[in-house]
Amino acid sequence: MTPRRRADRRAGLLFLTPALLALALLTVYPSVWVLWLSLERRIPVFGVARFVGFSNYEFLAGDPRLWNAARVTLAFTGASVALELLLGVLVALALSEQRRGRRTALALLLLAWALPSVVTAKLFEWLYHPSAGLVNFLLGERSLNWLGDPHLALPGLILADVWRTTPFVALLCYARLLTIPAALYEAAQVDGAGRLAMLGRITFPLLRRVLLIALLFRTLDALRAFDLMFVLTGGGPASTTETLTVYAYRSLFQTLQLGFGSAIGVIVFALVMATAWIYLRVLRREGMAA
């Protein structure tokens, strides 16, 4: 390494130092502290604070409530992400074919994504109202209790999440569609390819990497989702919408079992990191294949 490159490297590290210090203060230190708390039995109200090792994790391994929360989390994540990818691609294709009013359509699409999650939750709380909600009115003035029925609460949450986050997937796919050269489609038409053949042989293969990136971000967000279910159902009825994050919140802030709640938080963190690691390996393989 030449002296000039060594000096440039030192200068780069110097410029990065404030960001690294802020990252360590805001991320690394809280993460280490939560990990340590998960090894304790700490209940501030009763003055309990003692080291218990892996006792919290041993209890959680056989805790039916944790496994129920894990099932709800995975069901919510799988259903919402699958619907968002499907609808996002369809919306992106419709936008790319639209010739007039495209800016208006994009603005309306962004509106759902721009709304805060709590606002979206309150909006759907009104839409799902058993007697005055628009959803029941459109279904023939039925009196379905969307948020109070154990069979309808989770599908209601999934629909709310899909409405809020489909624009994210649609905009990513739409941006990629704009970069596909028109010459590819013209050449395919000359060769006699129909619309379905062009979708299968040109559009979808070129959308593949963007869809994997959208899948990564949406899966990580859905695994950590909290605000929608907390505002709409609070984890009920009968724990049918209690995800891992809601369970962790109740343990930490409602029952003030800081060690126990931290252990659940560590489990959520490990689940998110494992998912991210798998997706990044897939993305790296896609990059190498390309």
Annotated domain spans of the chain: 74-248
Element (H, E) at 51: strand 48-51
Per residue of the chain (290 residues), give pLDDT as tens.
677 888 888 888 888 888 888 888 888 888 888 999 999 988 887 888 888 889 999 999 999 999 999 999 999 999 999 999 999 999 998 888 877 777 888 888 888 888 888 888 999 999 998 888 888 888 887 888 888 889 999 999 999 999 999 999 999 999 888 888 888 877 888 877 777 888 888 888 888 888 888 998 999 999 988 988 999 998 888 889 999 999 999 988 888 889 999 999 999 999 999 988 988 888 787 664 55
CA atoms within 13 A on the CB side of 244: 24
User: How many other C-beta atoms can be found within 10 angstroms of the C-beta atom of residue 103?
Assistant: 8
207-286-278 Cα angle (round to 5) = 105
Residue 74: burial class (beta carbons within 10 Å; 0-12, 13-18, 19+): middle
Nearest Cα residue to 148 out of 171, 128, 119: 128
Q: Give every CB contact of residue 208 below 8 A, 6+ residues apart in sequence.
A: 286
Nearest Cα residue to 33 out of 255, 249, 259: 259
Q: Give every CB contact of residue 7 below 8 A, 6+ residues apart in sequence.
A: none
Matching CATH number, 74-248, of 1.10.3720.10, 3.90.226.10, 3.40.10.10, 3.30.470.30: 1.10.3720.10
